[in-house]
Copies of this chain bind each other. A is one copy, B any other.
Amino acid sequence: MNVLDLPRPYLLFLADVTDLSYVKTAAGLRDWARDQCVAEWALPGNPLRLGLPVMAPAEAAGAGARALVIGAATMGGAVRPAWVPALVQAMEAGLDIISGMHGPLASVPELKEAATRLGRQLIEIRKPPASLPIATGRKRTGKRLLTVGTDCALGKKYTALALTHAFGRAGVDVSFRATGQPGILIAGGGIPMDAVVSDFLAGAAEALSPAAPADHWDIIEGQGSLLHPSYAGVSLGLLHGSQPDVLVICHEAGRKRILGLDAHYPIPPIEEVIELNLMLARRVNPGVRVGGISLNTSRLSEDEARRVIEAEARRTGLPCADPIRGGAAFDQLVEACLEPEAALAQ
């Protein structure tokens, strides 16, 4: 097995974390994989709720849950001692444990012992599958769309998910292909690209979107950015291995520089970003085209957002939309991705 395949549906574990911003993983699953979330469960005394049914592990297992997902984050990135009895209780109820935390579950002796005793899996979604192949560069059947960004953390996953849903609504045979942890939980599988050994980077991307029927679409979650001096290698390996037919360029309105670096790396005009991505993608798929621009306008008012989106569409001649705001602009973007003749620029 070259790609993670997670037991589902899930029980979302909020532990003793009371701040919503530390349970983003669980909230993302509620929003994007609601049908895979049987229930939520917090430790006694924690008032935090996500609006799902509340069930303890035994009840959740009875309702069909197959795994508990650690949906809370800690500063240190490890399971807290106070969580351990609850996790053992979940395994006793028949659930596997899924974690995206830095500290491996198996490094906690009680968890390792319980998993062995009960025959349960401790699944680390940070860990890429073993025995990934070297990329072959061979053309695969089926269609592929990759979301690429001008930077990290501006909506590549969100855009891929929104497009997947829209393609599905349009009756298209479509799969979301996840390349990071939150996406992997939502999809129930995928490959954490940033954890793959460099030699196998493009090979992992090839394995992630295998040959498929001619009218099937894989919508692949982008990682990093070709413009990012820390992660461009990951982005290029993913681009090459994905052999995309269509790129959707993701940008945050108003972001002028790469975030999170003290060195100054400006974000060039989006036309340059498009040309760079197309040029490198053509190496593996000469027919690649841009479907349009996904513009994150979450910092703008409704009016400002509409103005910015319209201006960007006019300026570039490409469909431009904020998937979160949806609307006619997003419908046009979806249409342009699906139909080459609707795309105004190659």
Contact = CB atoms under 8 A, between A and B. Distances in A.
A225 B187 CA distance: 33
Most chain B beta carbons < 10 A, residue from A196, A234, A237: A237
Contact of A237 (B232, B241, B265): B232
25 contacts: A135-B229, A136-B230, A137-B261, A137-B263, A138-B262, A139-B263, A193-B198, A194-B197, A195-B197, A195-B199, A196-B198, A197-B197, A202-B233, A203-B230, A229-B240, A230-B240, A232-B237, A233-B233, A233-B234, A233-B236, A233-B237, A233-B238, A234-B237, A265-B283, A276-B279
A197 B233 CA distance: 11
Contact of A265 (B137, B241, B261, B276): B137
A54 interface: no
Interface in A177-206: 193-199, 201-203
Contacts of A136: 229-230, 261-263
A134 interface: yes
B201 A234 contact: yes
Nearest to A275: B279
Copies in the complex: 2
A78 interface: no
A138 B263 contact: yes
A22 interface: no
A28 to B, nearest CB: 21
A283 to B, nearest CB: 7
A230 B284 contact: no
Nearest to A202: B230
Nearest to A196: B198
Contact of A229 (B229, B263, B283): B283
A4 interface: no
A82 to B, nearest CB: 29
A104 to B, nearest CB: 15
Most chain B beta carbons < 10 A, residue from A194, A230, A276, A283: A230
A232 B242 CA distance: 13
A232 B194 CA distance: 15
Centre residue among A194, A198, A276 by max chain B CB count within 10 A:
A198
